[in-house]
Structure 1
Amino acid sequence: MDNKILKPFNCFIPLFLALIIAGIAIPKNSIAQNNSSYELLPAPDAWYNSVDGVRVGVRLRGQVPGTFGDGPHRLNAGLWLGTNFPANPVSYYLKYTEPIPAISDFGSEGSISAKTSYRTGFQSHGLTFNKRWQTGFNELNYKELSIGVKGDYRFNEDYLLYQQLWQTQWLYLTNATFELTNVNGLGRYALSFSADANIAGKVDPFLRSEIVLRQKVEFTEQFSLSGRLYSGFATDNTAPEYLFTHSFSSARSWMQSGLTRARGTIPPSWMQIGNIQVTGGPNLRGYLNNDIQSLNNGNQPLYTSLSAVNFEMNYPNPLDNGLKKIPVIGGLIDLRSYLFWDTGTSLGFTSIEEPNLLSDAGLGFLLSIDIPDYLGKSRGITLRYDMPFWLSHPGVENAFKFRQVFGIGATITL
């Protein structure tokens, strides 16, 4: 059959494989229409981007009744149709997770996950082993290790606002992440490490890693200091979507959020002004406009090495105190006000580096609406409004000037 005829249906091949895996893993007698040991919970879903138009479909959650996402045979899936009928109108996401009883305990699960997705011009398919160790009954104190393999492929650039942040060959990656969070003598802290290695395909092998240390120090009930130490390193042949910028997260991580996965969900003109920041990386928020204007001019403000320190001094916010008094929802809303200072540069270990020590300082506000999952992890949204009044290297601007940054996500999540 003609490949041109088959092309629109290629997206279903990995989906069918994932469904077969899920079908083998879920006991055949566990699914019934009424009273059973397994349930499938559908919900309608709609989203928008400028290529698909309104993307309509259904989300599906599968679980053993009464486990609330904390049991065997967990399924999370979605299937959508782009009403603009682009080149690839059908998209999907599927993740199936199976705990490993021999290495699982309360709050300390070991599991294997299979994940496949084909949406917004990007497909990714992989297997991951995950192990969590929780300290007692406090879900905020834990260690977590993930090791996996995956294949990524950017097959349609129409969804990209900045095409120079991506390459268009298959990547075959091994990846590992480790996260630790607990309390020390100063307060709550978190340490995370991640590494990705491309090991096959047409793209040359590369290695890329990030390490982040976060610490919170509470002076009083109203005053606290939050700090973040960040370092990112990559080898010379690293794909551009994994390289680092001064002010926002690497392009690959944009695929983790529906807000940034495709152009048009956030109007492109808003992004191109240089006021909207996708939080991550060194997070030198005062240099967002410089990075975006460089992208607007067709350049690649990308580096193989960047490190930074971020500080936020939280101070009393009367409006937050009022919100906290609202019954039920008051415990889910956080409105913080803070002074911030960021500084960062490259450390001289790789070939494409920032020669200057860049700093910024200003005033910011954060609104967080959060309903934690059964492990205490965030499932909400965090929005920031930062005003970097001072830059150490402002270019042709004045060092002291009114600037504004609307951030998606918190700089320091503690």
Structure 2
Amino acid sequence: MILVLAGISIPNELHAQDDDPSYELLPAPDAWYNSVDGVRVGIRLRGQVSGTFGDGPHRLNAGLWLGTNFPGNPISYYLKYTEPIPAISDFGSEGSISAETSYRTGFQSHGLTFNKRWQTGFNEMNYKELAIGVRGEHRFNEDYLLYRQLWQTQWLYLANATFDFTDVNGLGRYALSLSVDANIAGEADRFLRSEVILRQKVELSEQFTLSGRLYSGFATDNTAPEYLFTHSFQSARSWMESGLTRARGTIPPSWIQIGNIQITGGPNLRGYLKNDIQSLNKGNVPLYTSLSALNLELDYPNPLDKGLKKIPVIGGLVDLRSYLFWDSGTSLGLTSIEQNNVLSNAGLGFLLSIDIPDYLGKSRGLILRYDMPFWLSHPGTENAFKFRQVFGIGATISL
């Protein structure tokens, strides 16, 4: 939780004129919790040139914390500094270099990234983004992990690239995301890992919308376990991107071990979450080097959402979806650790999103889902048709 207390203005030494903008440091107290650090207290700091509102030069985002349980590594930090490159920047189409370093919850990562965005006109929803970078990362404390078998503890030295593209075609809005990570140095095995995600929204009528997602993930045989794929949730490395999932105890471990809490991502076969979690609870490693999936959601009219939309101010920030869903996936048959069957599930779901977009229109909110996968193609010892429930963090298809 963050509360801005004050802005500290510092003269910008890079400029000589009296009317040149100053530099602001905006501090805010911060507190969070996990079962190793206990209540983690500290300060967040945002730095920017006055009046630029987060899109100017010399951008800083940093945090420093103390774990009140005083674990083995009680001090943690995060820092990201971004500098735009004027020669390749324009309105909505910035090029920049970012340096990012973090040391928290038993995991450290340090890297440099080049970013370039291309925006179509003044519509921030239509854009392309490219990021190319290098980083070193290391899991140095396993106490923060709920499932240690999802991680290894050697240093990884990774080169990575991501490309995101979103626009509108004849069917509606679509988005394409590509990512590649390659471990290129160090004592750990070399590996290559990639993901491709294509999403498409189709407005069938004023009342009904069909959203689709094609997912494919591939990794070589020696890939670190935190980068491998599961049926129902995103790879363990991606858990480090959210404060809710970065360390055990923020979400009570018993909630996850029951098999009802889904960290959305990957193939996202939501009906098989309980099977994956039960396997992890037994100490097994339900990981695969390749998985592909199709996710479909059909939105239907929701009177409660219409009521929320009529509330001043709040109505523009809150969205309540109701939908029928279908997920189906299998492996690609290219590597040694494969899923042999085509797994499918279907059911009914609801999604609540609370969103305050940033200056580029990107989501900065909380998304909670409640899905009921009533049918599984491979239910194991259960009935194929049965009441099941999954509480999801994040949207399966976000457009």
TM over 0.5: yes
How far did 1:351 drift? 1.2
Asked if 1:172 is matched to 2:157, the reply is yes
The one-letter code sitting in structure 1 at the alignment partner of 2:39 is V
1:364 match: secondary structure: strand
Question: Residue 37 of structure 1 is aligned with which of 22, 38, 41?
Answer: 22
Summarize the alignment of residues 201-280 of structure 1 with structure 2, pairs less than 5 Å apart.
Answer: 201-280=186-265
The one-letter code sitting in structure 1 at the alignment partner of 2:223 is T
Alpha-carbon RMSD across the aligned residues, in angstroms, is 1.2
1:411 match: secondary structure: coil
1:314 equivalent in structure 2: 299
| Distance in 1 of aligned mates of 2:65 and 2:203 | 46
What do residues 339-388 of structure 1 show as CA deviations (whole Å, max 9, x unaligned)? 00000001211111100000000000000000000000010010000000
1:147 equivalent in structure 2: 132
Q: Contact 2:12/2:23 (CA < 8 Å) preserved in 1?
A: no
2:378 match: secondary structure: coil
Asked if 1:112 is matched to 2:97, the reply is yes
| Distance in 1 of aligned mates of 2:114 and 2:175 | 21
How far did 1:210 drift? 0.2
Summarize the alignment of residues 329-348 of structure 1 with structure 2, pairs less than 5 Å apart.
Answer: 329-348=314-333
1:376 match: secondary structure: coil
Asked if 1:386 is matched to 2:371, the reply is yes
How far did 1:28 drift? 3.9
The one-letter code sitting in structure 2 at the alignment partner of 1:389 is F
| Distance in 2 of aligned mates of 1:29 and 1:378 | 33
Between 1:85-94 and 1:347-356, the stretch displaced more is 347-356
2:281 equivalent in structure 1: 296
Question: Residue 195 of structure 1 is aligned with which of 170, 180, 197?
Answer: 180
1:349 equivalent in structure 2: 334
How far did 1:36 drift? 5.3
The one-letter code sitting in structure 1 at the alignment partner of 2:235 is S
The one-letter code sitting in structure 2 at the alignment partner of 1:413 is S
Asked if 1:182 is matched to 2:167, the reply is yes
Q: Contact 2:12/2:22 (CA < 8 Å) preserved in 1?
A: no
What do residues 217-251 of structure 1 show as CA deviations (whole Å, max 9, x unaligned)? 00122210000000000000000000000000000
Percent pairwise identity: 86
2:325 match: secondary structure: strand
| Distance in 1 of aligned mates of 2:364 and 2:183 | 30
Asked if 1:124 is matched to 2:86, the reply is no
| Distance in 2 of aligned mates of 1:331 and 1:268 | 34
Bigger proportion of residues as helix: 1
Between 1:346-355 and 1:165-174, the stretch displaced more is 346-355
The one-letter code sitting in structure 2 at the alignment partner of 1:252 is R
1:57 equivalent in structure 2: 42
| Distance in 1 of aligned mates of 2:345 and 2:226 | 25
The one-letter code sitting in structure 2 at the alignment partner of 1:78 is G
1:15 equivalent in structure 2: none
How far did 1:29 drift? 5.2
Question: Residue 97 of structure 1 is aligned with which of 66, 79, 82?
Answer: 82
| Distance in 1 of aligned mates of 2:323 and 2:113 | 38
Asked if 1:88 is matched to 2:73, the reply is yes
1:85 match: secondary structure: coil
Unaligned stretches of 5+ residues in structure 2: 1-10
The one-letter code sitting in structure 1 at the alignment partner of 2:271 is G
The one-letter code sitting in structure 1 at the alignment partner of 2:53 is F
| Distance in 2 of aligned mates of 1:317 and 1:165 | 39
| Distance in 2 of aligned mates of 1:207 and 1:254 | 19
Q: Contact 2:12/2:21 (CA < 8 Å) preserved in 1?
A: no
1:372 equivalent in structure 2: 357
| Distance in 1 of aligned mates of 2:31 and 2:13 | 31
How far did 1:329 drift? 1.2
| Distance in 1 of aligned mates of 2:158 and 2:112 | 11
- Structure 1 stretches of at least 4 aligned residues deviating more than 2 Å after TM superposition: 26-30
The one-letter code sitting in structure 1 at the alignment partner of 2:121 is G
What do residues 263-300 of structure 1 show as CA deviations (whole Å, max 9, x unaligned)? 00000000000000000000000000000000000000
The one-letter code sitting in structure 2 at the alignment partner of 1:267 is P
Question: Residue 283 of structure 1 is aligned with which of 268, 283, 286?
Answer: 268
